[in-house]
A and B are shown apart, each in its own frame.
Chain A
Amino acid sequence: DAKTTQPNSMESNEEEPVHLPCNHSTISGTDYIHWYRQLPSQGPEYVIHGLTSNVNNRMASLAIAEDRKSSTLILHRATLRDAAVYYCIPQTSGSRLTFGEGTQLTVNP
C-alpha cells in the first residue's frame, strides 16, 4: 500500500474554502486516490475519488498533481457539518482501503 502524509489538523472558518493536502509519493500508476471523511462515532463517508484528472462532485473537488504524488481535496464553502477527520487513501482497483491517520478539520463559526 502506498504511504500517505496528511497534516494532523487544519482549521477553517465557516463559508470559506478549505484545501486539504495529501502527499502520496509512492503511489503506483494504477492506484486511485480516494477521500473519505469520518464524523465522531460514525462510519466513514465517501467524499470523492479520481485517477489522473481533477474531479468534481456535489460534495467537493479533487485536484490531482500532474505527477500524481500529491492531491488536494477542496471544500468550496466549509460548513459546521464538514468538521470531521478526512482520509486520503491510494487504492489499487478492487482492493481494500487502508486508512492512515487523516486530517482533523475544525470549522469555526
Chain B
Amino acid sequence: GAVVSQHPSRVICKSGTSVKIECRSLDFQATTMFWYRQFPKQSLMLMATSNEGSKATYEQGVEKDKFLINHASLTLSTLTVTSAHPEDSSFYICSARVAAGRGYTFGSGTRLTVV
C-alpha cells in the first residue's frame, strides 16, 4: 500500500535552534501534503496544507514564519520549526491523499522535544 515515510522519528534540540522534519511519499506522487501537530492527550490539529510547487496554506493561528513548509517535489515535503522553544515540543505528523476516492495515509510522526 501507499506509504509516507517521515523522519526523524524523534529529535531533541536546544531552545533557539531549528529542526527540519521530512515526509516522503514512497510509491505515489503527493501534490498535496498536510501537516498536523498533536499535544499529549489531545487530538491532531491541522497546521498547514502543503502544495507542490507553491506556497503552503496555514491554518489560523499558525505562524508561517516559524513553521516553514517546503514542497519542492511530488514526493517530498519538509517542515522546519525555526527558533524552537519548549512550547513547540509536540508530536508532528504529515499526511497525504493517495488518490481520488481513497483514504489518506499518514507518516509515523516525529516527537520533537525542545530543551
A residues neighboring B (CB under 8 Å): 34, 36, 38, 41-46, 48-49, 87, 93-94, 96-102
Contacts and interface: CB of A to CB of B under 8 A. Distances in A.
Contacts of B56: none
A99 B6 contact: no
Question: Which residue, B34, B106, B108, has most C-beta atoms of chain A within 10 A?
Answer: B106
A62 to B, nearest CB: 12
13 contacts: A34-B104, A36-B106, A41-B111, A42-B108, A42-B109, A43-B94, A44-B95, A44-B106, A48-B103, A94-B100, A97-B34, A97-B46, A102-B43
A41 B105 contact: no
B111 A43 contact: no
B95 A97 contact: yes
A41 B108 CA distance: 8
Interface of B: 4, 6, 34, 36, 43-46, 49, 91, 93-95, 97, 100, 103-109, 111
A46 B44 contact: no
Contact of B43 (A49, A93, A96, A101): A101
A96 B34 CA distance: 7
A50 B24 CA distance: 27
Nearest to A35: B103
Contacts of A96: 34, 46, 49
Contacts of B94: 43
Contacts of B4: 43
Contact of B6 (A43, A97, A98): A43
A99 B104 CA distance: 13
Contacts of B34: 96-97
A89 to B, nearest CB: 9
B104 A46 contact: yes
A98 B46 contact: yes
B104 A43 contact: no
B109 A41 contact: yes
Given A34-B103, A96-B34, 11 more contacts: A34-B104, A36-B104, A38-B44, A41-B91, A41-B109, A41-B111, A43-B107, A46-B106, A94-B97, A99-B43, A101-B43
